[in-house]
């Protein structure tokens, strides 16, 4: 069992490692270079789904590796990343893999200022850009709500408890108005203060195994809905 100190240590180490490599590979374009090459194109009738995101997505494979086993699910999460970094690597880590669906989960690190100050509008615009690129390449999109967080342990005082619900409302409205599936993790995982329920994560930001199990039920429902009822492109 990973305790709070260990979790915070992992977060800080991840941020240090990312910071040290910015000058060489700011968007971590080489992170999945070999895996993408080995993966190749999907087989006929294969329903490939790429999960694009940050440490919450990356950690999914560590806490719940069985969720990705025996499925055509591809994890392309990178810890600490923000939406401009994801946008920069979107072609090689999503489009070039030719998935049928991409699941986007991003925004909390932008609010935390991991790569500099970001407004909600900036975050939203980057998410829209990724959606538009996906649609232009016949990839269906599932936009995930940003997970709840009352505060960031590594950068307190940024009021994510207020900003995340506002960003989620923007993403939800965009999804509704543009034929995009919206997966609402926030409503099932938040407490009365818009923070992450303690039973779903010890550091208030990242899910534990129980948290990922909740997410799996919700995202599987969204994936099934997209496959059974394709939305307008």
DSSP codes, 155-204: S-SS-HHHHHHHHHHHHHHHHHHTT-EEE--HHHHB-TTSSBPGGG-SSS
Give the CB-side neighbour count of residue 49, counting CA atoms within 13 A: 20
Domain spanning 4-228: CATH superfamily: SGNH hydrolase (3.40.50.1110)
The tokens for 197 are 């329920």
Residue carrying the six token digits 């971590």: 28
Average pLDDT over residues 61-90: 97
Extended beta strands in 70-185, E state:
73-77, 101-105, 140-144, 181-183
180 CB neighbour count, 10 Å cutoff: 24
Question: For residue 116, with 0-12 CB atoms within 10 Å meaning exposed, 13-18 middle and 19 or more buried, which class applies?
Answer: exposed
For residue 23, what pLDDT is reported?
Answer: 58
Asked if the model's pLDDT at residue 197 lies above 60, the reply is yes
Question: Percent of the chain at pLDDT above 70?
Answer: 89
Asked if the model's pLDDT at residue 105 lies above 80, the reply is yes
Average pLDDT over residues 198-225: 97
Instruction: Using DSSP, state whether 169 is helix, strand or coil.
Output: helix
Mean pLDDT of the chain: 92
Sheet bearing 73-77, strands edge to edge:
73-77, 49-53, 101-105, 140-144, 181-183
Annotate 129-158 with b (16+ C-beta within 10 A) or e (fewer).
Answer: ebbebbbeeebbbbbbbbbbbbbbeeeeee
- How many residues are present in the chain? 233
For residue 21, what pLDDT is reported?
Answer: 46
Asked if the model's pLDDT at residue 18 lies above 90, the reply is no
Average pLDDT over residues 137-151: 98
For residue 229, what pLDDT is reported?
Answer: 81
Average pLDDT over residues 73-97: 98
Pick from 94, 86, 174, 85: which is nearest to 140 by CA?
A: 94
Residue 213 phi/psi, 5° resolution? -65, -40
Cross-strand pairs, 102: 50, 141
Asked if the model's pLDDT at residue 221 lies above 90, the reply is yes
pLDDT band with cut points at 50, 70 and 90 for residue 233: very low
Asked if the model's pLDDT at residue 11 lies above 50, the reply is yes
Asked if the model's pLDDT at residue 51 lies above 80, the reply is yes
Contact 91, 33 (CB under 8 A): no
6 or 220: which leads in pLDDT: 220
């Amino acid at each position: 069992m990973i305790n709070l100190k260990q979790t915070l240590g992992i977060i800080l180490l991840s941020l240090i490692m990312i910071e040290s490599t910015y000058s060489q590979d700011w968007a971590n374009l080489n992170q999945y270079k070999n895996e993408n090459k080995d993966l190749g194109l999907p087989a006929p009738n294969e329903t490939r789904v790429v999960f694009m995101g940050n440490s919450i997505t990356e950690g999914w494979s560590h806490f719940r590796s069985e969720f990705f086993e025996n499925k055509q699910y591809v994890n392309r999460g990178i810890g600490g990343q923000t939406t401009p970094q994801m946008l920069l690597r979107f072609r090689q880590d999503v489009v070039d893999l030719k998935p049928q669906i991409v699941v986007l989960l991003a925004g909390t690190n932008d609010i935390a200022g991991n790569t500099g100050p970001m407004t909600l509008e900036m975050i939203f615009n980057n998410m829209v850009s990724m959606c538009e690129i996906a649609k232009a390449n016949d990839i269906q999109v599932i936009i995930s709500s940003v997970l709840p967080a009352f505060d960031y342990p590594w950068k307190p005082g940024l009021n994510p408890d207020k900003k995340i619900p506002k960003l989620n409302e923007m993403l939800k409205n965009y999804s509704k108005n543009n034929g995009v599936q919206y997966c609402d993790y926030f409503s099932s995982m938040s407490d009365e203060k818009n923070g992450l329920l303690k039973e779903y994560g010890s550091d208030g930001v990242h899910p534990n195994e129980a948290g990922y199990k909740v997410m799996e039920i919700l995202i599987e429902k969204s994936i099934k809905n997209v496959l059974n009822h394709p939305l307008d492109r």
